[in-house]
Amino acid sequence: MLKKSNVLHGPLTSEELSEAERFWIQFEQEKFFSEEFKSLKDSKIENESPLYNYIPYLDENRLIRLGGRLEFCNLSINEKHPLILPKNSWLTTLIVRREHNKVMHGGTASTLAQVRSNYWIPKGRQLVKKVIRNCFICRKYLAEPIDQLTSPLPSDRINQTPAFSVCGLDFALDLSTSITSESCKYPILFYLLAELPEHIHLELVSDMTTNSFLLAFRRFLARRVKNPETHPELKVGDVLIEENTKNKLLWKLGKIERTLPERDNKTRCYELKTSGRLLKRTVQHLYPLEL
Ligand SMILES: [Zn+2]
């Protein structure tokens, strides 16, 4: 039993840590390389030994070290003749973990290089890979997002339709305003989904209000969209709003009395009844009443 006066207090010193490591490495080497330990005391090694190719020898602390041809090199003893660690020892796994942390969770190559600066592990690459595979921090960093099949393309993007039948739009505030006048300074882009440069229709609006947008949208429809199929189907009897001024609330209500189909049996013009009068309007000037 240790007497109380012999017990040391305070943090462990580097000498104590080195001594403990030396003790446990020797303990594991004797456990896993018991035959080699016996024969190396006589500076011999059996041909059948798994350590035969490493030309091992026992140093002054009775630790098995790697031989080799670097004896007269200026490197440290651990670099010239690293300690041989058994691959299946738990101590070896702990040492590889420590070296892996030292290289800030580096990959297999950097961890293995760090390990080999002091130790030699037969088939060490496999062990290093296993340690990294089980490292929680590395698993977090190497985690991949779940792969999911992309959804099928919508029919609008894969079927042939007339130009501008299907399009997107956006306000383009970052375009230079030097080309615009005072009253129209917000360019608005209508673009095809293909987004080729020649497939862009540019409209200018004076501000970013709904009314300005609707006017620009109608100008765009009048210029580009010739196919009435892109509009909701209008039928006789539908109540519509007839455009007159910017303010939608001031627009007159109308009722479709008659459709006026053209030669291709498509209707682009309607006869409307509004306030006792009959009017003819093209489809671009008609809005379904949103009820
Ligand atoms: Zn790691």
Whole-structure pTM value? 0.53
CA of residue 239 to ligand 1 center, whole Å: 70
Structure tokens at 117: 């600066």
Give the largest Cα separation in the chain, rounded.
Answer: 123
In Å, what is the CA distance from 149 to each residue of 144, 146, 153, 190?
15, 10, 12, 30
pLDDT, mean of residues 201-212: 78
Query: Per-residue pLDDT tens for 12-35?
Result: 999 999 999 999 999 999 999 988
Model pLDDT, residue 232:
54
Q: Kindly report the three-state secondary structure assignment for every residue of 41-84.
A: CCCCCCCCCCCHHHCCEECCCCCEECCCCCCCCCCCHHHHCCEE
Model pLDDT, residue 41:
84
pLDDT over 50 (residue 228)? no
CA of residue 136 to ligand 1 center, whole Å: 7
Better pLDDT: 276 or 194? 276
CA of residue 99 to ligand 1 center, whole Å: 10
Better pLDDT: 136 or 281? 136
pLDDT over 80 (residue 55)? yes
What residues pack around ion ligand 1 (CB closer than 5 A)? 105, 135, 137-138
Structure tokens at 286: 């008609």
Q: Residue 282: CB partners within 8 Å, gap ≥ 6?
A: 268, 269, 270
> Mean pLDDT across the chain, nearest whole number?
80
CA of residue 113 to ligand 1 center, whole Å: 15
pLDDT over 70 (residue 53)? yes
pLDDT, mean of residues 84-91: 94
pLDDT over 80 (residue 173)? no
pLDDT over 70 (residue 198)? no
Model pLDDT, residue 247:
66
Better pLDDT: 224 or 235? 224
Model pLDDT, residue 230:
47
pLDDT over 90 (residue 204)? no
Better pLDDT: 34 or 173? 34
pLDDT, mean of residues 245-255: 71
Model pLDDT, residue 111:
96
pLDDT over 60 (residue 178)? no
CA of residue 141 to ligand 1 center, whole Å: 9
Burial tier of 170 (Cβ tally within 10 Å: 0-12, 13-18, 19+):
exposed
Query: Per-residue pLDDT tens for 104-144?
Result: 999 999 999 999 999 999 999 999 999 999 998 888 888 87
Model pLDDT, residue 261:
80
Nearest to 272 by CA among 233, 287, 223: 287
CA of residue 36 to ligand 1 center, whole Å: 33
CA of residue 77 to ligand 1 center, whole Å: 28
Nearest to 216 by CA among 204, 225, 229: 204
Parallel/antiparallel/unpaired status of strands 267-274 and 277-282: antiparallel
Model pLDDT, residue 291:
45
Parallel/antiparallel/unpaired status of strands 57-58 and 83-84: unpaired
In Å, what is the CA distance from 64 to each residue of 47, 115, 140, 282?
17, 16, 37, 97
CA of residue 140 to ligand 1 center, whole Å: 9
